[in-house]
Chains A and B, each alone.
Chain A
Amino acid sequence: MLERLIPSDGTGPGAKEANVLRYVDGSLAGDLNMFRAPYAAALPAIDAYATAKFGAAFTALAPAQQDAVLTDMQKNQATGFNPTSAAVFAMIRTHAVQGMFGDPAHGGNVNFVGWQLVRFPGPRLVIPARDQRLDVVPKEHLSSTYSYSLFKNTARRS
């Protein structure tokens, strides 16, 4: 599902290369544990809807069929969800985006593929005037914030 939300394609790497799944799993085991119950309810609901629509569980469907299921969910046209399919879609998409574009220390955004997609130059301690001008390509510093010595030992999980 994450790989349909953020596919690997001609534009470049997606959720698979960024290891968004590792981010989601790690977060649900930690700071985002309050979402475990909603996920536990959502996954069977997605399979039930996929089976009703296309005759098989979500992972067994062709990519176009998977996209159709996700589209129905986002448009709030899929049935059998709590509270709504649009809310469940938004929850999963929100976490997928976090895993793709968040700091790699949280498990996703491997090799900074998310940051490169949105042209984020990386965390920089000092930004010169030139790099705040329009249409300038700023100097990159692609690294985790936790690779700076100042933040090396900073806790990031509660």
Chain B
Amino acid sequence: MTERLKPVDVVVVGLGAAGGTAVWPLAQAGLSVVGIEAGPRVNEKEYPFDEIRNDLRDWMGRFKANKEVPTSRRNASQVATRPVGATGPMMNAVGGTSIHWMTQSWRYLPWNFKTRSETIKRYGAGAVPPGSTVSDWPFDYDELEPWYDKLEYRHGVSGQAGNVKGAIDKRGNIFEGERKRAYPNPPLRRSGWNDLTAKAAKDVGVHPYPGPTGIRSKPYAGLPACTYCGFCGWTGCYTGAKAQTNLHFIPQAQETKNLKVVTLARVLEVNVDDQGRATGVTYLRNGKTYFQPAKVVVLGAYTYENVRLMLLSTSKAYPNGLSNNHGQVGQHYMGHGLGSTGINGWFRGRRLNLYSGTIGQFTAIDDWDADNFDHSGLGFIGGGMASATMERKPIATANAVPPDVQNWGSAWKAWLAQNADSVASGSAQMETLSYEDNFLDLDPVVKDDLGRPVCRITFDLKDNEVRAALWMQDKIKQWMTAAGAVQLWWNPPAPTSPNTHAFGGARMGHDPDSSVVNRWQISHEVPNLVVLGGATFPTTAGRNPTETIQATSWRAADHVARRFAAITG
């Protein structure tokens, strides 16, 4: 039978980048908080430099993510599938995917918060692509700026500012939104590849800068600096130089004695009463089910998990899933065009030394993103931040051969012996808009290990996104050629799913007919339900989302703490 636990003020589902940030302002305000996490506690011993374990088997996703990998299809007429051996995009531990993230720590641009209105203002209503449901955010960059600032100073983000109080500094990103102060730490060390690609970018007439990183370039707040070990993504930092919520937010929240962490527990359902208020969550731990009553329920897990949990939580008040009486849960799904724009280059005779550093050690270009250039006549809106990064690993290197070299046998070996570590790439995170027919729902056939439906992704690239990607590929080809590549190869744009940059499904907005949560990320329908993370984003932006996920989560949790009596009254 289900054991009923002692009621608390707030229960937070998931302790990663989103939930792991939110627990801090809640606990600090004196609220009693329970954080439920599917994974265990981990420490630096769990972060070996092992490409097979970390990158290919997603070893840290074994507790939950790998058991419920979403299925995917490109349109509603297809049967959704997933490959044998597919692993989940996220990991499970206290700290979640803030442990094995790639560390590029970005603020979104002001344009990203007003994509729809700014597009119409500059290019007319006809510039919004057919079928797109893109909407403005319910708040703007200036409102989020203080939260970005707090977050960057808490983590010790390393970077070069480009716009402090309106003063443009060409060493940084001249296109960034105005910030109140510079980054707390200088950029990470510049490698030879970083310098080469920065010079090449200038040669093609754009404005390169060292991209911002959630890794400390110097010791900061009692935590050490980066050692450039080359095993950063898909694992945690053995020295503690990386911005992880299991180092920064969760321990401090626990020190207040107001946060209780429950590990190795899988939430099965958000419970509601007949009036439609959330009453708490039911979770499974060691084969036993528990009901944790709470006055406020915060969904702080990953996009696929938050949406799936809402759709699985059916009740009399919400027969089609929690907060889904307007049919908006699962809608407006977006996945970044990861891998769509990568241009590989052969730098004959060069030893690039890419077996080092981190993906957060990179040269970035913003000239080709957002509305930083005139889109008239191009046939698309948006773009992407282009980057050239460090951190390659040996298996990935062995696979990075030009298409005219057979990728096995003696010819392949001979090519690798001459050219391994002479191949590098430039790529871009492409803005992807929301559309009427890209969405998440429950798979009608495929179940997880508990017999419950997994999330199903229906997603394809539309004309806007394909045109943007092809345009971007041309730009990156010019860039890589200027850097000295003698041969280029690439893949045609194609959707990537499931992936680590998933957005939408519980979009925030003012209107319950086109969004799930309001400007404070509180449900339009369930007055004491909060949703965090990429699921709530109306736009993807053309860059990595983690810092914006954390800044919005901090802001939303702060609102709950300050307005707790009104929200629960």
Contacts and interface: CB of A to CB of B under 8 A. Distances in A.
A12 B413 contact: yes
Contacts of B410: 7, 9-11
Given A7-B413, A11-B410, A158-B62, A136 B46 contact: no
Interface string A140-154: 000001101011011
Interface stretch (B213-221, B264-272, B393-401): B393-401
| Count class of interface residues, chain B | 35 or more
Contacts of A59: none
Most buried by B among A70, A93, A100, A133: A133
Interface in B17-75: 44-46, 48-53, 56-57, 59, 62
Contacts of A114: 394, 398
B421 interface: yes
A136 B351 CA distance: 7
Contact of A132 (B51, B192, B397, B398): B192
Contacts of B50: 102-103, 105, 145-146, 156
Contacts of B395: 97-98, 101-102
A35 B85 contact: yes
Given A7-B409, A132-B228, A35 B84 contact: yes
A6 B231 contact: no
A146 B398 CA distance: 22
A117 interface: yes
Contact of B353 (A10, A14, A131, A154): A131
Nearest to B195: A134
A73 to B, nearest CB: 11
B409 A127 contact: no
B353 A133 contact: yes
Nearest to A153: B45
Contacts of B414: 10-11
A138 B357 CA distance: 13
B408 A132 contact: no
A120 B394 contact: yes
A126 B355 CA distance: 12
A132 B394 contact: no
B420 interface: yes
A145 B230 CA distance: 12
Contact of A5 (B351, B355, B408): B408
B151 interface: no
Interface residues of A, number: 57
B45 A154 contact: yes
B60 to A, nearest CB: 10
Contact of B394 (A6, A67, A118, A146): A118
B171 interface: no
A131 B356 contact: yes
Interface in A1-34: 4-7, 9-12, 14, 31-32, 34
Nearest to B420: A118
B398 A100 contact: yes
A101 B356 CA distance: 16
B352 interface: yes
B350 A119 contact: no
A5 B416 CA distance: 14
Contacts of A105: 50
B229 A6 contact: no
B238 interface: yes
B196 interface: yes
A38 interface: yes
A137 B353 CA distance: 8
Contact of A97 (B196, B350, B351, B399): B399
B390 interface: yes
B193 interface: yes
Given A118-B397, A132-B228, A136-B353, A5 B46 contact: no
B407 to A, nearest CB: 7
Interface in A47-63: none
Contacts of A137: 351
Nearest to B349: A135
B417 interface: yes
B316 interface: no
B397 A145 contact: no
B227 interface: yes
B325 interface: no
A125 interface: yes
Given A4-B409, A133-B353, A32 B85 contact: yes
Nearest to A106: B52
B189 interface: yes
A123 B53 CA distance: 14
Given A132-B189, A132-B228, A158-B62, A34 B84 contact: yes
B191 interface: yes
Nearest to B62: A158
B237 to A, nearest CB: 11
Interface string B336-372: 0000000000000011110111000000000000000
A155 to B, nearest CB: 8
B192 A134 contact: yes
Given A132-B357, A154-B45, A103 B52 contact: yes
A40 interface: no
Contacts of A102: 50-52, 394-395
29 contacts: A9-B413, A11-B413, A34-B84, A34-B85, A35-B85, A98-B52, A98-B395, A102-B50, A103-B50, A106-B52, A118-B397, A118-B416, A118-B421, A119-B351, A120-B355, A120-B420, A123-B231, A127-B229, A131-B356, A132-B192, A132-B356, A134-B350, A134-B352, A134-B353, A151-B45, A153-B45, A154-B46, A154-B48, A158-B62
Closest 4 CB pairs of A and B: A134-B192, A123-B49, A118-B420, A132-B191
Given A117-B416, A121-B355, A126-B228, 20 more contacts: A4-B408, A9-B413, A11-B414, A34-B85, A38-B84, A96-B408, A97-B399, A101-B398, A103-B50, A105-B50, A118-B394, A118-B421, A120-B355, A127-B230, A132-B228, A132-B390, A134-B192, A134-B193, A134-B353, A145-B49
